[in-house]
Amino acid sequence: MDLAYTPRQKAFREEVRAWLAANLPREPLASYDTREGFEQHREWERKLFDARLSMVIWPEALGGRGCDLIEWLIFEEEYYGAGAPMRVNQNGQLLLGPTLIEFGTEEQKARFLPRMASSEDMWAQGWSEPNAGSDMAAITSKAILSADGTHYVVNGQKTWSTRASFADWLFGLFRSDPGSSRHHGLSYLAVPLDAPGVTIRPIQALNGKQAFAEIFFDDVKVPVENRIGDEGQGWHVAMATAGFERGLLLRSPARFQYTARRLVELYKANREVADRDPSIRDAVIEAWTGTEAYALSAYHTVGRLAKGARIGAEASTNKIFWSELDLKMHETAMRILGPFAELTGDAPEAREAARWLDGFLFAQAGPIYAGTNEIQRNIIAERMLGLPK
């Protein structure tokens, strides 16, 4: 155990810090759940990419910087610590990206990854269907290989696809063997969202914005080169993605530590009001202890990975931990803000309340997306503790 950063790690931190100080947008970007905000975030991603800071853990040849996971944690600390914009393309970059690196052909990596790193291509996820939510193996959308074997013909419907109204591509699972059921006969495809036969219908989310969409496929032709992994092996490939998602990458600790810091500041600025309810102080303390625990767990895991360990079902404890923590922190902020908490960004008296409200609304979804927390508890019980099905 040696908890000092190396000179190289320190220098990297300084570099990132200096770059962010010089390049952060002066004004906050518009919400990425709007077309305008989405494009602003795309521009910001491009800027990060040009500085080779968009995907620091990817190899240089793919538009990354070849950093190890400790450096990635450092990057995230500086990034969120500086209050930098949310990462609009993270479903592609953090979920599909590692999947392609593990399962993609060389051609696919070259075709998709650099454009993903630069956000020239923005990616939406296509897992859920109207009748396949938690039970993802119930999906029925089909991708049938053409007789000449050159392309799939896709029919069916996906739903809840985050920012699909604005995205360029979709990745997800389709049933390529029509006679199959459950986890078998599925293939993992990348589908361009401007292909003929694709219809996208935005769904308004809790915040009134087009945060996700349903997608209809009507005889959409998808070249066979867009299949990731083997035909019929889609479930296996998708599970790797789900692992990345629940595990470390999607929710690095820094984002929550930043929220905890803001919460402590909010509490200190409003102590007279907040202390009338003693449970608020407790919750503020727990914001710090919880986010530190999450960060420590990430460093511990990264260290174990570096020594050759693999993340197993314990990734599911991560998902529960961060989503409940994030919710609790935002609930606490709402309680401190009291009668101002309901004010939206349009309210002249909202001040910092509107930002907390946005975060509060999104935090409601944390225990639902990326596999609900009930499903995670099932996984922990069955795969980590070995309890019977």
Partner 1 sequence: MDFTFTDDQLTFREAVSRFLMTEAAPEMLREIWETDSGRSPELRKNIAEQGLTALSVPEDCGGLGMDDVAWALMTQELGYYAIPDSLADAAYVAAGLITALPAGTASREEWLARIAEGSIRIAVGHPVNPLVADANPANLLLLADGDAVHAVPREQVDVEANPSIDLSRRLARVRWTPATATLIADGESGRALWAQTLNRGVLSAAGQLLGLAQRMLDLSVDYVAQRKQFGKPIGSFQAVKHHLADVATKIEFAKPVLYRAAYALAHGEAGADARVSHAKLACGEAAWLAARHGIQVHGAMGYTWEVDLQMFMKRAWALDAAWGDRGFHKARVADAILVEGAALGPGHTFEE
**Number of residues forming the site for partner 1 (CB under 8 A):** 61
Q: Shortest approach of partner 1 to residue 246 CB, angstroms? A: 12
CA angle 215/221/227 to nearest 5° reads 90
Region of 238 on the Ramachandran plot (φ > 0 left; ψ -120 to 50 alpha; else beta): alpha
CA 227-229-235 angle, 5° bins: 100
Residue 45 known to be catalytic: no
Nearest to partner 1 of 46, 261 (CB atom): 261
226 vs 323 by CB, closer to ligand FAD: 323
| Three-state secondary structure call for residue 39 | helix
Pick between residue 71 and residue 245 the one whose CB is nearest to ligand FAD: 245
Q: Which long-range contacts (C-beta less than 8 Å, at least 24 apart) are formed by 127-136?
A: 127/158, 127/172, 127/173, 127/238, 128/158, 128/159, 128/160, 128/161, 129/156, 129/157, 129/158, 129/159, 130/157, 130/159, 134/371, 134/372, 134/374, 134/375, 136/173, 136/238
Q: Give the integer Cα–Cα distance in Å for 8 and 5.
A: 8
> Judged by CB under 8 A, which of 307, 310, 339, 348 binds partner 1?
307
Q: Please enumerate in sequence order all residues whose Cβ is within 8 A of that of 267, keeping only pairs 6 or more positions apart, or say none.
A: 274, 280, 281, 284, 332, 336
Cβ-contact 139, 155 below 8 angstroms: no
- Using the rule CB under 8 A, give the single segment among 99-107, 159-167, 231-239, 317-325 that binds partner 1: 317-325
In the complex, least distance from residue 7 CB atom to partner 1, rounded to whole angstroms: 12
Q: Which is nearer to partner 1, 77 or 214 (CB)?
A: 77
Question: Which listed option, ligand FAD, partner 1, none, makes contact with residue 46 (CB within 5 to 8 Å by class)?
Answer: none
Q: Interacting stretch for partner 1, rule CB under 8 A, among 5-13, 155-163, 168-176, 353-361?
A: 5-13
Q: Does 258 bind partner 1 (CB under 8 A)?
A: yes
Of residues 245, 324, 352, 374, which has the active-site annotation? 245
- Residue whose CB is nearest to ligand FAD in the complex, by number: 133
- Integer Cα distance of 208 and 280 in angstroms: 29
Pull the structure tokens for residue 311.
């993340």
**Contact of 165 with 142, CB cutoff 8 Å:** no
Which residues between 12 and 51 bind partner 1 (CB under 8 A)?
13
Closer to ligand FAD by Cβ: residue 118 or 162? 162
Residues forming contacts to partner 1 in the complex (CB under 8 A) are 1-6, 9, 13, 70, 74, 76-78, 80-81, 253-254, 257-258, 260-261, 264, 267-268, 281-282, 284-285, 288-290, 292-297, 299-300, 302-304, 306-307, 314, 317, 320-321, 374, 376-378, 380-382, 384-389
Q: Which residues are catalytic?
A: 245
